[in-house]
Structure 1
Amino acid sequence: MKRKKITIGTRGSKLALWQANHIADCIRAQYPDMDVELLHIVTTGDKILDVPLAKIGGKGLFTKELETAMLGGEIDLAVHSLKDMPTELPEGLLLAAITERVDAGDAFISPNYGTVDNLPQGARIGTSSLRRKAQLLKYRPDLKIGDLRGNLDTRLNKLENGEFDGIILAVAGLKRLGWQDKITQVLPQDICLPAVGQGALAIEARSNDIEVLEMLAFLNHQETRWAVEAERAYLAEVEGGCQIPIGVSGKIEQEVLTLEAAILSVDGARQIRQIISGSPQEGKKLGHYLAQQMLDQGGREILQELEVNH
């Protein structure tokens, strides 16, 4: 191996730094002589905190500056939460590895009420995700959903300050920071299907950097990759970014991949939900097929209305 040093680009939030340091430690353990350093990069999504994500353009907000730095040679790779990654990557970049999924679930946090069922009528819930909002309103149309942006600590502070009766965050992020004791309920998937790729980390690198790609191969978890590739294929077919209420869950058990998805109207009043199973290696095809089925059965109308109102 010729390379002596590798530079990882990361956002500055506690969670992003945990993720980048975790991957850096894995690389150091695998290649003890490698000098691994972190470079902090501020993304558009980190700068704009007072506007709902759906209004400022969705997923690429947390990746674009990192990708520019990678293409410019400032960094060799970037570590992302896979759920923040657009389905189409810039020319010259690819997902070198997808790590084993920690937990795809959504965490409900409400010190006073504990579970969604225990919330009083009209309780105020915080989330920045249209997916969570729509699914929660389908289950409890009486709830008042407010926009919740910022890093995990900022969001938790807003709950503690009494701005909300409960908030929803990804289980994986809370676990990674050692804050899982704050979770009062993991939302069952029949109430809330997760985001595409939720719970897995994506390692992005230059597609022509063969040495780095070979170095990173050990981080790839094949079962997770098959499952999330099916989820991402579904999303690409439906063409939903952050601003469309879509939940998708891919799971592999006994060598069978089961993919479940939901498309909802923003108020949760309408939902199309289906499930499909097949070979893990055929995950992308399953994702495309399920998306087409659901679009044909009313999903397209829901998405068209969203575009008109957006």
Structure 2
Amino acid sequence: MKQKTLRLGTRRSALATAQSGMVAEQVAELTGHPVELVEITTYGDTSREHLAQIGGTGVFVSALRDALLDGRIDLAVHSLKDLPTADPAGLLLAAVPQREDARDALVARDGLTLEELVEKCVAHGDGRPARIGTGAPRRMAQLNAYAAAHGLAVETVPIRGNVDTRIGYVHSGELDAVVLAAAGLSRLGRLSEATQLLGFDLMLPAPGQGALAVECAAHDTRLAAALAALDHRPTRAAVTAERALLAALEAGCSAPVGALATVLGTDGPATELRLEGVVGTPDGTTLLQMSTTGPIALDETFEQQAAALGRDLAARMLARGAAGLMGERDL
């Protein structure tokens, strides 16, 4: 009897198909069923507007979710940072595999680091600032704040496009550098093109950055049970806290919000979770960064505990004026 082929929905970009292909191999091994990729075009792929203008939240996700709900595909793989924080009716986040490097990466001309790039531009470019491209207000806010604090001449330039398009701006000389997610470069086998991995002291990532999300229909309990083997509990705990922070701030994935949760030790049944969050204006003139640490047991209650930690930090940030900063998003 012929085995059922599982249909895995993915966006059409090189990065999306690369990471979906990785998951497809794992699912095929787990289930014993062949897995085929089904490419689906999302609104975020076709629109040429910047994410802050088209709303950001869900623009890379909704078409895949529609395909799941109407049965055209059996499962979907998303970049977790693209997922809206609200749980969709009829769908299940079946697995969050182990997270890759959550850092952002600088791809600069001449193999330069950020400081070297700025120094070279100022010295040999008639004193002009280094032009650095990114599509994320979060990156703009933190990069501009870091530059101001360290006396670096930087101009952030809003860009869109896939990895080739963005790095192409550097190769053509239109920009001096671009900032991309390190995990995306790694999954494409292009991490060597990064000239610097930006430390978390310089830039906190988007909530969920570096992690993948595997969704299926909630009624497909057999498939959900199989996919659960891909789940990495410390990663899920971390991204749950980050996304709870984002949700409580009532901000979308294009908002100038960064977050990073870290599980501190996993040797015993109980451990700690540290969560850092940042909100700022894209020009970097105002940046609010706070952190908290709380106990977490990696048992069946871990998601509730992680979410509570995220909501707690969000409440503290809102009390310090975070909502006003997110409202100042004039790009």
TM-score band (shorter)? over 0.9
Structure 1 residue 89 displacement after superposition: 3.5
Equivalent residue, structure 2, for 1:57: 55
In structure 2, the partner of 1:30 is: 30
Quote the residue 1:79 is aligned against: 77
Task: Pick one of 193, 198, 216 that aligns with 1:187.
Answer: 198
Correspondence list, 1:14-29, <5 A: 14-29=14-29
Quote the Cα distance in structure 1 between the aligned partners of 2:240 and 2:214.
14
The alignment yields a C-alpha RMSD, in angstroms, of 1.6
Task: Measure the CA separation in 1 of the matches of 2:282 and 2:15.
Answer: 28
3-state DSSP of counterpart to 1:62: coil
What is the match of residue 46 of structure 1? 45
* CA distance 1:70–1:3, shift in 2 (3 Å): farther
**What SS does the corresponding residue of 1:149 show, helix, strand or coil?**
coil
Question: 1:298 is matched with which residue?
Answer: 321
Whether the aligned pair in 2 keeps the contact of 1:112 and 1:165 (CA below 8 Å) is: no
How far apart, CA to CA, are the structure 2 residues paired with 1:176 and 1:75? 23
2:279 to 236, 253, 263: 263
Q: Secondary structure at the match of 2:219?
A: coil
- Does the 8 A contact of 1:128 with 1:147 survive in 2? yes
In structure 1, how many angstroms separate the alpha carbons of the residues matched to 2:19 and 2:179? 20
Match of 1:112, SS state, is: helix
Please tell me whether the aligned partners of residues 171 and 180 of structure 1 are also in contact (alpha carbons under 8 angstroms).
yes
Unaligned segments of structure 1, at least 5 residues: none
1:152 to 156, 163, 179: 163
Q: How does 1:115-264 map to 2 (within 5 A)?
A: 115-118=113-116, 119=118, 120-121=121-122, 122-141=129-148, 142-254=153-265, 255-264=271-280
Letter in 1 for 2:326: L
Deviation at 1:3, TM superposition (A): 7.6
Distance 1:148 1:261, change over 3 A: same
TM-score, normalised to structure 1's length? Answer: 0.94
- Indicate which of 100, 103, 117 corresponds to 2:101: 103
CA distance in structure 1 between the aligned counterparts of 2:104 and 2:31, rounded to whole angstroms: 35
Residue type at the aligned position of 1:30: L
Cα deviation 1:2-25 (Å, max 9, x = unaligned): 983311001111110111111110
Letter in 1 for 2:114: V
Distance (Å, rounded) in 2 between the aligned partners of 1:149 and 1:167: 11
TM-score of the superposed pair, with normalisation by structure 2: 0.88
Distance in 2 separating the partners of 1:283 and 1:192: 22
- Secondary structure at the aligned position of 2:9 is classed as strand
Displacement of 1:113: 5.8
Query: In structure 2, do the counterparts of structure 1 residues 3 and 109 end up closer, same or farther at CA, with 3 Å as the change threshold?
Result: same
1:41-76 CA-partner distances (Å, limit 9, x unpaired) = 111111113x21110110311011111111001001
Provide the C-alpha distance between the structure 1 equivalents of 2:72 and 2:275, rounded to a whole number of angstroms.
38
Alignment gaps of 5+ in structure 2: 123-128, 266-270, 297-301
Return the offset for 1:111.
2.8
Identity %: 42
Q: Which amino acid aligns with 1:209?
A: D
